[in-house]
């Protein structure tokens, strides 16, 4: 892969890391005197009337979102009852709002439910695409309003760039929305980046724009209702801060924009309100818009699955849809979504613990233990917090070792923070998070590089690096314990510490986190060209090699393989992986990683029933194949375990695959 393509692939991760580090720096610099007790007092000061109004706006916001799906089903040509649409919309959005990683998306919920209600894969793809676009239209309209009327309200840029540049950006946003409606009216369908884009009728496009604008305005009102009145802080100015903060949170690619959204709100509202008031409102906003809906949706979706499985005894179709524990075609894993969000939140709390309360009270515990805890200060919790952020990324990738290490880190952090005076809610949250994750080991099935049977140089270096970093940090700690807040990042930023020590701590922590990340990597992608030697090696795994292929991608232990072909913008696997069962899931993820490296999307033609849940974890949807090798609308019955499927991103790739599928396996002379 060229250097340019590698940089493009790394850009989202680098941007997210930069925004997250910037958030920590801003909190340390601008809000170093923030205290946990101040935030609690600010939350207690929010009137019950404001809490009720904010809760009502949250309900109204999710209610407006249901009309996204309602319009989407009309656009797709298969209208679903409003009750069903509302259920699918709430579950999908509650899940997607809490995720910043490319792991499980709300699209999986829609595929699961709408397929059961009779929509074809193409129709579901239209609904997903329609809903994905709608929010952007509303943000564009309101963003233009803010940039033209209150440009100084935009955090980071309002007072530092030319007002004419902000006007130009606002005009560009409005121009994009107007162009969308005009294209819908005069073209309807157009081709973009090799894909045919079919827009709704222009009247529906107008309704879509209005609906999205109302939705964004109501969502911002959830938090605005929680803020005390402040001179100069109009709703429009607040809207500018909210839109900029939400956009930064999306760009950071962390669950719910954690840390980045919150810091941008703190910075943007600081001219009007005190930091505890802002952060108190942010906490309640997250509770209303993120946490409560996620667990409600998880419970509702689980209940729906139980009902489906109960009814499966009465019908053959429902037998498939309910199936056994591993028989769901595109069932999203709410356990993974909750785990990623909760672990990231715990990591963020531990990182900023010293900012919130740098003077813990140890007088109530045993004097010997108190001395150890007091000298360690925030150094250890902040290190555990950084490690948990890395764990969240690896949990999203389904790495089994990350599951175990996360539980250990959470319990270790709980044992340490329980010594931190009266803040019993912190160790309580850590313990509860560990208990919630513990039962879901089966959801994290990818073996880490450490246990893939190959002790290569990278793994050895990572192990040695972690050991060296632990020893080095233990040596650094006595030299920084005198700081008011001796979190490792505070040491790096402090001017009271020698530059050599600051640099050493920074490098050690960075090297340690990188080493952990490398150690938890599920392994590198190994491919082989489709040569005679590769075909023989493929056949030795116990399967008949396909006639034509472009290459083979191997599992992490190289004991399972998938033959693939390039079909337009798709990396198409020719059947399920063959070889050792223990290595097949890693081969599927290697296919996904290879597709990402090449800028393609993965798909599988001829997939069996057994691995459909793994494909669903990649955001792919399974379509049953007919005798002609094309997706069919045949009934799914008790013999589903013997059926074959096309697994792909339906809304993006199905149209392009349909013309070529029947010819893929034909001998060259028959083509």
Which structural domain, as residue segments, surrounds residue 368? 334-519
Rg (CA), the chain: 26
Check: CB of residue 121 under 8 Å from CB of residue 650: yes
Is a pLDDT exceeding 90 seen at residue 225?
A: yes
578-612 pLDDT tens trace: 988 888 888 888 898 888 778 788 999 888 888 88
190 pLDDT band, cuts 50/70/90, is low
Adjacent-strand bridge partners of 605: 574, 646
Mean pLDDT is lowest, of 180-184, 214-218, 225-229, for 180-184
Check: CB of residue 79 under 8 Å from CB of residue 73: yes
Q: Are both 32 and 59 inside the same structural domain?
A: yes
40-69: average pLDDT: 89
Q: Are both 308 and 201 inside the same structural domain?
A: yes
Q: Are both 499 and 412 inside the same structural domain?
A: yes
Helix ranges restricted to H, 548-668: 581-597, 612-617, 650-657
Helix ranges restricted to H, 481-609: 488-493, 499-519, 532-539, 581-597
Find the angle CA(211)-CA(213)-CA(219) to the nearest 5 degrees. Answer: 100
422 pLDDT band, cuts 50/70/90, is very low
CATH number of residue 624's parent domain: 3.40.630
Residue in the block written with tokens 């340019």: 4
Q: Are both 548 and 512 inside the same structural domain?
A: no
Could you tell me if residue 401 is inside a domain?
A: yes
Could you tell me if residue 140 is inside a domain?
A: yes
Q: Are both 72 and 133 inside the same structural domain?
A: yes
pLDDT at 497: 75
Q: Are both 537 and 424 inside the same structural domain?
A: no
Q: Burial level of 436, CB count in 10 A (0-12/13-18/19+)?
A: middle
d(CA 159, CA 150): 11
CA nearest to 620, candidates 598, 643, 595 = 595
Check: CB of residue 222 under 8 Å from CB of residue 58: yes
365 pLDDT band, cuts 50/70/90, is very low
Could you tell me if residue 385 is inside a domain?
A: yes
Q: What is the mean pLDDT of the chain?
A: 76
Could you tell me if residue 156 is inside a domain?
A: yes
Q: Could you give the count of Cα atoms lying within 13 Å of 276 in the half-sphere of its Cβ?
A: 16
**DSSP string across 297-314:** HHHHHHHHHHHHHHHGGG
Residue where a domain stops, chosen among 519, 544, 575: 519
Could you tell me if residue 328 is inside a domain?
A: no
More confident residue, 107 or 395: 395
More confident residue, 82 or 416: 82
Mean pLDDT is lowest, of 190-194, 198-202, 433-437, 666-670, for 666-670
Long-range own/partner contacts, residues 23-27 (CB < 8 A, 24 or more apart):
23/259, 23/260, 23/262, 23/263, 23/264, 24/259, 24/263, 24/351, 24/352, 24/489, 25/493, 26/263, 26/266, 26/267, 27/263, 27/266, 27/352, 27/355
Residue in the block written with tokens 């992986």: 577
Check: CB of residue 74 under 8 Å from CB of residue 228: no
Tell me, yes or no, if the pTM score tops 0.75.
no
Query: Which of 70-74, 300-304, 359-363, 640-644 has the highest average model confidence (pLDDT)?
Result: 70-74
pLDDT at 614: 81
Could you tell me if residue 627 is inside a domain?
A: yes
Is a pLDDT exceeding 90 seen at residue 55?
A: yes
Is a pLDDT exceeding 80 seen at residue 252?
A: no
Residue where a domain stops, chosen among 279, 297, 322: 322
Is a pLDDT exceeding 60 seen at residue 535?
A: yes
Residue where a domain stops, chosen among 519, 540, 558: 519
pLDDT at 11: 52
pLDDT at 49: 92
3-class secondary-structure state, position 169: helix
Helix ranges restricted to H, 418-487: 425-437, 457-476
Which tokens belong to 118?
């009779």
CA distances from 28 to 31, 352, 382, 487, 511 (A): 6, 9, 13, 11, 22
Calculate helix-pair angle for 292-311, 334-351, nearest 10 degrees.
Answer: 160
DSSP state of 283: H
Q: How many domains does the chain have?
A: 3
Q: Are both 68 and 217 inside the same structural domain?
A: yes
Residue in the block written with tokens 């999710």: 62
30-47: average pLDDT: 71
3-class secondary-structure state, position 574: strand
DSSP state of 587: H
320 pLDDT band, cuts 50/70/90, is very low
Query: Which of 361-365, 523-527, 602-606 has the highest average model confidence (pLDDT)?
Result: 602-606
Is a pLDDT exceeding 50 seen at residue 259?
A: yes
pLDDT at 552: 92
Could you tell me if residue 327 is inside a domain?
A: no
Q: Are both 638 and 561 inside the same structural domain?
A: yes
Is a pLDDT exceeding 70 seen at residue 467?
A: yes
Q: Are both 98 and 205 inside the same structural domain?
A: yes
Could you tell me if residue 403 is inside a domain?
A: yes
Q: Are both 145 and 212 inside the same structural domain?
A: yes
Percent of the chain with pLDDT over 90: 8
Mean pLDDT is lowest, of 96-100, 433-437, 641-645, for 96-100
More confident residue, 412 or 291: 412
Is a pLDDT exceeding 70 seen at residue 195?
A: no
Is a pLDDT exceeding 80 seen at residue 331?
A: no
Check: CB of residue 645 under 8 Å from CB of residue 668: no
Q: Are both 511 and 636 inside the same structural domain?
A: no
Check: CB of residue 418 under 8 Å from CB of residue 427: yes
Q: Are both 506 and 623 inside the same structural domain?
A: no
């Amino acid at each position: 892969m060229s250097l340019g393509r590698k940089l493009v692939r790394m850009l989202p991760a680098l941007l997210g890391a930069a925004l997250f580090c910037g958030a920590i720096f801003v909190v340390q610099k601008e809000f170093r005197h923030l205290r946990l007790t101040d935030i609690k007092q600010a939350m207690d000061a929010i009137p019950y009337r404001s809490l009720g109004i904010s809760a009502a706006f949250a309900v109204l916001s999710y209610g407006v979102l249901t009309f996204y799906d309602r319009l989407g089903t009309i656009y797709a040509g298969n209208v679903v009852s409003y009750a069903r649409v509302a259920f699918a919309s709430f579950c999908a959005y509650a899940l997607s709002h809490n995720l910043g990683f490319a792991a499980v998306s709300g699209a999986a919920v829609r595929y699961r439910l709408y397929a059961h209600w009779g929509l074809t894969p193409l129709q579901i793809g239209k609904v997903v695409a329609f809903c994905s676009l709608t929010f952007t239209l509303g943000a564009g309209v309101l963003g233009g309003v803010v940039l033209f009327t209150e440009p100084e309200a935009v955090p980071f840029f309002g007072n530092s760039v030319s007002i004419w540049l902000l006007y130009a950006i606002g005009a560009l946003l409005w121009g994009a929305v107007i162009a969308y409606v005009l294209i819908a009216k005069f073209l309807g369908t157009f081709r973009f980046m090799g894909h045919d884009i079919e827009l709704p009728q222009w009247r529906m496009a107008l309704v879509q724009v209005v609906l999205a604008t109302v939705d964004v305005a109501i969502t911002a009102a959830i938090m605005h209702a929680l803020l005390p009145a402040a001179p100069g802080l109009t709703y429009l100015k607040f809207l500018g801060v909210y839109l900029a903060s939400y956009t930064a949170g999306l760009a950071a690619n962390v669950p719910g924009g954690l840390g980045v959204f919150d810091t941008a709100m703190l910075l943007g509202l600081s001219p009007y309100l005190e930091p505890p008031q802002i952060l108190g409102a942010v906490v309640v906003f997250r509770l209303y818009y993120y946490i409560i809906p996620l667990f409600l949706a998880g419970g509702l979706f689980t209940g729906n699955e139980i009902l489906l499985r109960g009814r499966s005894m009465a019908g053959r179709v429902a037998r498939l849809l309910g199936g056994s524990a591993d028989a769901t075609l595109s069932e999203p894993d709410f356990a993974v979504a909750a785990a990623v969000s909760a672990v990231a939140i715990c990591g963020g709390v531990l990182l900023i613990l010293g900012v919130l309360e740098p003077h813990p009270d140890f007088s109530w515990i045993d004097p010997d233990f108190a001395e150890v805890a007091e000298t360690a200060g925030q150094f250890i919790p902040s290190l555990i917090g950084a490690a948990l952020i890395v764990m969240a990324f690896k949990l999203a990738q389904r790495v089994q070792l990350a599951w175990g290490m996360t539980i250990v880190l959470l319990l270790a952090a709980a044992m340490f923070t329980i010594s931190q005076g009266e803040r019993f809610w912190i160790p309580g949250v850590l313990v509860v998070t560990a208990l919630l994750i513990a039962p879901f080991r089966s959801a994290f099935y990818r073996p880490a590089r450490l246990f893939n049977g190959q002790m290569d140089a990278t793994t050895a270096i990572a192990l040695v690096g972690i050991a060296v970093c632990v020893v080095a940090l233990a040596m650094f700690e006595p030299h920084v314990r005198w700081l008011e807040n001796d979190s490792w990042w505070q040491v790096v930023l402090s001017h009271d510490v020698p530059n050599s020590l600051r640099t050493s701590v920074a490098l050690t922590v960075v090297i340690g986190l990188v080493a952990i990340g490398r150690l938890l990597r599920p392994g590198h992608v190994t491919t082989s060209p489709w040569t005679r030697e590769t075909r023989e090696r493929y056949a030795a795994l116990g399967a008949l090699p396909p006639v034509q292929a472009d290459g083979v991608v191997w599992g992490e232990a190289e004991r399972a393989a998938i033959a693939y072909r390039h079909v337009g913008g798709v990396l198409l696997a020719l059947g399920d992986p063959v070889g050792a069962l223990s290595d097949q899931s890693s081969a599927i993820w290697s296919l996904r990683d290879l597709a990402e490296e090449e800028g393609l999307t993965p798909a599988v033609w001829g997939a069996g029933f057994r691995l459909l849940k793994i494909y669903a974890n990649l955001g792919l949807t399974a379509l049953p194949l007919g005798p002609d090798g094309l997706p069919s609308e045949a009934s799914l019955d008790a013999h589903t375990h013997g059926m074959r499927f096309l697994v792909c991103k339906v809304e993006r790739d199905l149209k392009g695959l349909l013309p070529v599928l029947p010819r893929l396996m034909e001998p060259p002379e028959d083509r």
